[in-house]
Amino acid sequence: MSDPNAKYQSPLTSRYASAEMAANFSNNKRFGTWRRLWLRLAQAEKQLGIPGISDEALREMEANLDNIDYDVAAAEEKRRRHDVMAHVHAFGVAAPQAAGIIHLGATSCFVTDNADLIIFRDAMDLLIQKLVVVIDSLASFAREQRAQPTLGFTHFQPAQLTTVGKRACLWVQELLWDLRNMQRARDDLGFRGVKGTTGTQASFLALFEGQHEKVEQLDELVAELSGFAGKTYPVCGQTYSRKVDVDFVSALSSFGATAHRIATDIRLLANLKELEEPFEKDQIGSSAMAYKRNPMRSERICSLSRHLMVLVGDVLQTASVQWLERTLDDSANRRISIPEACLTADIVLATLQNVVEGLVVYPQVIARRIRSELPFMATENFIMAMVRKGGDRQECHEQIRVLSHQAAAVVKQEGGDNDLIERVRRCDYFAPIKEDLDALLDPSTFIGRAPEQVDRFLQDFVRPALAPYSDVIASKKPAELSV
């Protein structure tokens, strides 16, 4: 037996991918789906009156849907240089009573394209369920942290306060859009159906001796048997339009941008020591620096998301160069790009779930940073308080301006702490509001409607979006990461 470590293996499947997504793009799933399509075609043809398709042939086909002899198929493909005909032969060997009617009237794209559409749909079902779990977990985090004041940043420079929960809602909102996009891409998937070599259904029209309505019934019946009732593409070339792949992968690449943004925010906050991803008891952050707690899961999300984001370029370029009824330069690219998009999105979602469900917030670090910046932000409050006590607004502004610049010099030039509040306390001019300073500096008075925005967002937007998936949420399990 050959050593699997002696040849290259894709890290997507050998290192990261979930068992269910890897299985969805396995040879067993692909070629098993081909055989199911051949069975459905034969069943529909028999039902519509095509002679020579026996019940015994159908029974043999059904009994051998997953009994795939890959050695037989490989030998035939080496001889014929055609993967579909190799598997037609292998299926015929397993079901000899059906050998003469397997693939009757069909072109290769009957199985390759239709199987792809089934596999893509199943992949998106898996991804949607995992995305729903991530949204639900992150919404719970936002709810818990709805009123925890934290310093906001614009341009990664200190800005007005927000809350930890409100910031999380920014992430959730983008994930809700990704859920919408994925649902739309999934629901928009149609079925190529039985369209013949250039999409004209000429072979099936000949098979039914010119009966157009029988050809239409065949198309509809095979689609229904395959779970695409009433959803065949009305016109095709030899393949279904590769524009469909663009819509499908675009939803996944767009999610990659969201995941990268979330993981980047977490990495920035980890550097500030305000927020951390989960860190296991025996985890090593650095081989040299034993104290380090690197945000390696978030870094993995960013790394894989970059790959996910660029894969849409492959399907865009493929769709743009499909000459006339088709060209085969789509095939090799699609075998790589679309499975990798689904596998990568799957891995990113599992890692994101793991991070979200283990986020650690450090309120004391957050409070210290607020204390270092809030005095400058509170100066307008000081001015308003002095005016209410009879002070002159312009004079007060000048007094606080001078003290602010002095405090800023201590911070920037001397490396000291922000002592603006102590300067205000010592300044006789501000004596009327000295007793009010603590209240004027309460961080909870600087967060505006952030907690209420969290409540309204979760109630009016998140809950309705997740309602159709209550069973998925109820049965969710912690994400399992391979490494």
pLDDT confidence tier of residue 180, bands split at 50, 70 and 90: very high
Least confident of 71-75, 138-142, 259-263: 71-75
Per residue in 278-303, pLDDT (tens digit) is 865 444 454 444 444 788 999 999 99
Locate 402 and state its tokens. 């001078």
Q: What is the pTM of this model?
A: 0.88
Mean pLDDT of 371-382: 81
Burial of 79 (0-12, 13-18, 19+ CB in 10 A): exposed
Query: Can you list the domains of the chain with their CATH numbers?
Result: 19-104 (1.10.275.10), 109-192+233-363+462-474 (1.20.200.10), 379-440 (1.10.40)
The catalytic residues are: 155, 286
Q: Over 80: is that where the pLDDT of 31 sits? A: yes
Is residue 93 within 8 A of residue 61, CB to CB? The reply is no
Residue 436 has φ and ψ, to the nearest 5°, of -95, -5
Mean pLDDT of 190-213: 92
pLDDT of residue 291: 44
pLDDT of residue 268: 96
pLDDT of residue 189: 95
* Side chain identity at residue 384, one-letter code: M
**Going by C-beta distance under 8 Å and a sequence separation of 6 or more, which residues neighbour residue 287?**
none
DSSP class of 12: I
* Side chain identity at residue 262, one-letter code: I
Is residue 179 within 8 A of residue 101, CB to CB? The reply is no
Cα–Cα distances in Å, from 109 out to 34, 87, 171? Answer: 10, 13, 40
- CA–CA distance, 42 with 52 (Å, rounded to integer): 10
**Going by C-beta distance under 8 Å and a sequence separation of 6 or more, which residues neighbour residue 218?**
44, 45, 48, 194, 204, 208
Per residue in 299-321, pLDDT (tens digit) is 999 999 999 999 999 999 998 98
Listed in sequence order, the DSSP H helices in 145-201 are 164-188
pLDDT of residue 202: 92
* DSSP strand pairing (149-154 vs 275-276): unpaired
DSSP class of 428: G
Mean pLDDT of the chain: 90
